[in-house]
Structure 1
Amino acid sequence: MEIFIYSRGAVERVPPHDVPHVIVSITSSEADRARIPESPHCRALLRLAFADADAKSESIPEESLFSRAHARAIWDLVDEHLPHIERLVVHCDAGMCRSPAVAAAVAKVLTGDDTEYFRRYRPNMRVYRTMLETYYEERAGGEAS
């Protein structure tokens, strides 16, 4: 499975993928929804909203950060559609932190290699850690390696 990472602007502009795929659309608030072009090849679209931060602060409460519930939703999507898709498309506002973190964690689990995402992007470490912890503790029955 190929993984594509986009910024919000790019995912709203690029032609839809012409192979079976799923999309994880990440924004900073529930009210802010990316306008993703429709495609008959898109098997599912998961919309999530959370802040691009690693820890809570005065301006960012804990409940607005990436959570295990977000990670579970992504893993559910991947598990359900993996046998039937060729691509995972992930976007966030800039395409540099949150979406690469999701992509890196999925790549780590599926292929054992996430180095490309750390070379080319700045993955949000809260997202990356939570994705891996959720997978290994709740789905694989063990600790992250």
Structure 2
Amino acid sequence: MQFYVYSRYGFEATRPHEVPHVVISITSSLDDQARIRANEQCRGVLRLAFADAEVASEIIPEDALFTPEHARRIWDFVVAHRDEIERIIVHCDAGMSRSPAVAAALARALNGDDAEFFGGRYVPNPRVYRLVLECATAQASRP
């Protein structure tokens, strides 16, 4: 499985991918959705909204954080489409933390390797990475 990570601007400016793929679109608010160009190769879009933070604070309430429910939605979405796609495209506002965390956890769960998302230009959000990987591991171990 191939993974592409974008900032929102980069994603909206990029031509649609010409191989079967899904898009995980991450924003900070459900009211603020990225434009996703129509494309016959796109097999599905999952839109999520959560803050780019690891813990709640005076500015970011607990209910704005990434949750196990978000992780389950991501994993269920990917599993539902994985036999028909070659690529998973993930974007968030800056393309530096939330989207690489999702891509890294999925790459680890599906391909066994998340190295490309660590130690370079990305700084994956630890909370997002951990919860997606925990969900994928738990689901994979079920009969």
Same fold (TM over 0.5): yes
Partner of 1:80: 80
Q: How far apart, CA to CA, are the structure 1 residues paired with 2:133 and 2:64?
A: 19
**What SS class does the counterpart of residue 15 from structure 2 fall into?**
coil
Q: How far apart, CA to CA, are the structure 2 residues paired with 1:62 and 1:43?
A: 32
Partner of 1:31: 31
| Residue 110 (structure 1) aligned with residue 106 (structure 2) | no
Q: How far apart, CA to CA, are the structure 1 residues paired with 2:4 and 2:118?
A: 15
Q: How much has 1:132 moved relative to structure 2?
A: 1.1
Partner of 2:131: 130
Partner of 2:20: 20
For residues 98-135 of structure 1, give each alpha carbon's deviation from its aligned partner in whole angstroms, at most 9, with x where no partner exists. 00000000011112111110122100000000111122
| Residue 42 (structure 1) aligned with residue 42 (structure 2) | yes
Q: How far apart, CA to CA, are the structure 2 residues paired with 1:38 and 1:23?
A: 12
**What SS class does the counterpart of residue 119 from structure 2 fall into?**
helix
Q: How much has 1:96 moved relative to structure 2?
A: 0.4
Runs (4+) of structure 1 exceeding 3 A deviation are none
**What SS class does the counterpart of residue 51 from structure 1 fall into?**
coil
Amino acid at match of 2:125: N
Partner of 2:11: 11
Aligned length: 141
Which structure 2 residue ranges, 5 or more long, are not aligned? Answer: none
Identity %: 57
TM-score, normalising length: structure 2: 0.95
Which structure 1 residue ranges, 5 or more long, are not aligned? Answer: none
* Alignment root-mean-square deviation, CA: 1.0
Q: How far apart, CA to CA, are the structure 1 residues paired with 2:118 and 2:52?
A: 16
TM-score, normalising length: structure 1: 0.94
Q: How far apart, CA to CA, are the structure 2 residues paired with 1:41 and 1:65?
A: 31
